[in-house]
Structures are given as structure tokens and as C-alpha cells.
A and B are shown apart, each in its own frame.
Chain A
């Protein structure tokens, strides 16, 4: 730990206001999402506690009927927007992180196999990656989402929506991981420590996972951070289009979709606050990822 604070990395971090601010915003958001149960004044998912009379309360103004005040106002159903945003943030971050985790595991494994085994397997995996790269990943995600929904029985759709969302975003973002890992694997496998491992009779998987994997993980962290921003936006986009998180478990994207209906009738806050939260989250994750990339591995640019 002491070594970390002395390192060039930490020095570069202290010198970069963008890195500091974006990290603070990210940490703040993650903490609020984790502690949503304690911070949120109401539980937005508890239909029984909602009072329709509270609907369309403007921020910081007492409601005309009940006299209650809400920090960020309420939506059409009288749901406290601040609470809804906290829980929405949680859904957005959860989907984003899980999707990136899936993309990372998949991409790293496929990249290792393509780079180490080579031959027709390499050709197959990389051509698949090429094809996928020619489509915008949101399109791929929508395709996978559509197929998965079609396969699921109707009564499970609502319940499985989040899982399907994670799967579709995860499967659409593995390519960058695979490409980078394949490249470094091809460099590593020619090194003599790999020959030494073959000499004692280790099999391919042992060599890939125990010897090569630790040596190709560096850039993966950077790609994961940048992909997290993409995944959060992809999730919001899907939910905004109505094919993502359901109304019963709204993400920031769902909240924005709901808010959009009231923008022109004067209830601007229902759209604005979720949108600002999403913007701050995606922007700071992305800025931090860019900074990480430039600092750790300028070659990836």
C-alpha cells in the first residue's frame, strides 16, 4: 500500500483534476446506489406507500393537497423522484457492471484462445469479432434482447428483463477485450517462460490461465472502465426505448422515458434530474477511463 502512494501512477493521479473529480463523482454515485435503502426517504417500489395526491409535485414546493415537500419533486404517480433516482442508479450500475463483467470474461477467454491456439479457431473468433464490429453494439444488444424475449415465456419476461438486459449488453461488448488480449497473448506465448511451462507438461489451459493471463490483464482493466461507460449508456438507451428495465424496476433510462412524457406539459423535473444523474455518471466513468488509458497504456489510444 505504501508503495502505491509513492508510485508514478498516484503522482499522475494527484496532478490530474479531471481524474480526481471524475473518481470522486463515481465513488459518490456508487456509494449512494449501495446505500439507497438508507438514504432514500421513501421506497419507490412499494406501491402501497404511494399517494396519488402527491403526483406532479414540483421540487422543493409543498404539495397543494397534502402539503408534503420533495427535494426533487414527484412523478405522475406521486413517487419521490430523489428516491426513484437512487434506486434507478442502482439498477443502472448493476446492469452496467454485470454486463462489463460478462463481456470481460467472454472477451478475455476468447482472446486467450484465439491468440494461444491460433489456426482455424483464431480465424473463426476474429472473423466473428470483425462482423460484430461492423454493427453498432446497441443494435446487437437489441437483436439479442429481442431474440431472448421471444424465447422466454410471457410470464417470465418481466422477471427476467434485467438478466436479459445484462446478457445482451455483455454479448455486444466483448470484441475490444478479445482483440487486445489476443494481441498480447501472441506476444507472450513466444516468450521462454511459456516454453518452460510446456517442458514440464502443463496443458494449454494451465498455460493460458496460470501463465499468460496474469501477463495480459493490464490493458483489460482500462478497457473495462471505458466499456462500463458504454454499457451504462447502452442500458439507458435500451430502457429509454422501452426494451430494457421494466417500470416495476426502473433504471435511469426508464425514468428518463417516463419523464419525457411530461416534458412539454410543464413537469420538467421528472425528465431533468434522472437525465442529469445519468450524464454525470456516464461522463465521469468515461473521463476516468480515458485518463486511466492515457496514464497506464498510451498505446491503446
Chain B
């Protein structure tokens, strides 16, 4: 079985007015199917990209895969373990949580502005009981900062002292602090300048090689995805309309929707 499996994943949002208003105005319930029977599998150590326009349900899927949101139907399994398994005790939950981490879109909102970088990075170590003792934690923080191309002294600074690209590096370091196996990246570079984007993408790639990480990579930018992904799923209004290996998708897209996305994207150069 694949490392990450999403099976018949569905998520509906209830956009109805409050019950009393609905009864008085005789409106029906308004339900939004944000994710509709989505299936995909990700092999260990590979990158699966989800592309789609804004509102197509990418973030909703990401939130369900990390367990921030419950699926309305369907299931997600990581290494054979069901994420929504209610019978797990706290310890088992924590053990599973540690293996799945996330890098977020906004470099500004994803780091607590009142916390020093060192504290941000050592929090997962404490939450998962990975490293005991202040000195050992400090050493690990320095190591993490170095792994994402920053310096040990940055641990004493606050997030606002860094640029967007540097903050995304800190965000990546925080994800790494849990020693995860899967990292969900929800548009990690879409808020960055193009030149900085490439650096962050290269960092993610080299970390994948070093640690054998599995990525679920979410983006609306096909240029970004062409350099990163092994496999691409195209999402349109909550439905996975096409899934292909990266090279195939760019050379022979099957669906009209995919062709439309490709023609809308700026010219894509293959680098790998």
C-alpha cells in the first residue's frame, strides 16, 4: 500500500443561514461540496502535487490530510494508519501527528509574532518529547536553522526581523523539528518573489533527498509544480479531473480543463 492514501475523500460546508432564519424565510439548506470523492495515493519519498484554481478545494484537502479538519466522508491513511481513528489514545495520536507536518502559505501569519525563532523551533520537540533539556534543544535548533540555510544566531530574533523567504525557511525548519515523514506544503512559495521562490523550492527538494520526505505539494502555479512533482493531480471544483506523471501531464494532457490551465500558465521550462 502507498504511504499516503486518500480514499473517497469528501468535504461539504454548510453555508446555510441559522436554523431560525431559514425556517422563517423558507430557504432550503445550502451545502457546498468543496471536495467531492477525491482519491489519490502518494508513494514514500515522492512528491504529489495538487493543482487547481482558487477555490477548487486544495487547502481543504491539505487540512484534512494533516488532521486539522475532519472529512465529511472517506478516509486518509498514513503508513496504514487511519487518521480519523477515534479509538486512538492521546499517545498514539501524538505519535501519528509527529509524522505529518505542514508548511503554510503565509510567511507572515504562520509564525507567532511574539515568539522568538528559537522558541518556535523548540516547541515541537517539547510537544513530542523528542529532545530533553535546554542545551540539547538549543543545539538542535541551531542544527535545524543550518539545515534550512540560516544561522545559529537567528534563534534569538523575532519573526518580524526576517524577509518573507527567510520566514518560509523558518517555517520549514519548524516542520522538520518534529522529524516528520510527510510534509504538506500549501502554496509555500506563492507569497514570495520569483527569485526567492526558486531558492525555497530547491531547499525543499534537497531536504527531501536528505531525509526521504514525502510531499503533498499544493499550488495553483504549474511552473512551480513542474520542477517539484513526480505526479500531479488536477482539481476542478472539488473533483479530481486528471492525474498523471508530471512529464506526461505537460506533454499530453487528457482533459480540456488541464489544457486550459496549461495554456494559462507562463512558459514552463523543464529543469530536471
Give B89-130 interface residues, CB cut-off 8 Å to A: 90, 93-94, 97-98, 100-102, 104-106, 109-115, 123-124, 127-128
Considering residues B63, B106, B112, which has the most beta carbons from chain A within 10 angstroms of its beta carbon? B112
Q: Is A119 an interface residue (CB 8 A)?
A: no
Measured CB to CB, the closest approach of chain B to A174, in angstroms, equals: 24
Nearest-neighbor residue (CB-CB) of B100 within chain A: A199
Contact B109 A192 (CB under 8 A): yes
Measured CB to CB, the closest approach of chain B to A8, in angstroms, equals: 15
Residues of B within 8 A of A214 (CB): 112, 114-115
Q: Is A195 an interface residue (CB 8 A)?
A: yes
CA distance A193 to B105 in the complex (A): 11
Number of A interface residues in the complex (CB < 8 A): 14
Beyond A192-B104, A215-B114, whether A199 also contacts B68 by CB under 8 A is yes
Range of interface residues on chain B?
Answer: 20 to 34
Q: Is A157 an interface residue (CB 8 A)?
A: no
CA distance A202 to B90 in the complex (A): 11
Measured CB to CB, the closest approach of chain B to A115, in angstroms, equals: 17
Beyond A191-B109, A193-B109, A211-B112, whether A200 also contacts B178 by CB under 8 A is yes
Residues of A within 8 A of B113 (CB): 215
Q: Is A201 an interface residue (CB 8 A)?
A: yes
Q: Is B11 an interface residue (CB 8 A)?
A: no
Q: Is B66 an interface residue (CB 8 A)?
A: yes
Measured CB to CB, the closest approach of chain B to A280, in angstroms, equals: 36
Give B60-75 interface residues, CB cut-off 8 Å to A: 63, 66-68
CA distance A273 to B98 in the complex (A): 67
Contact A199 B112 (CB under 8 A): no
Nearest-neighbor residue (CB-CB) of A213 within chain B: B114
CA distance A195 to B171 in the complex (A): 12
Nearest-neighbor residue (CB-CB) of B123 within chain A: A200
CA distance A35 to B67 in the complex (A): 58
Measured CB to CB, the closest approach of chain A to B179, in angstroms, equals: 12
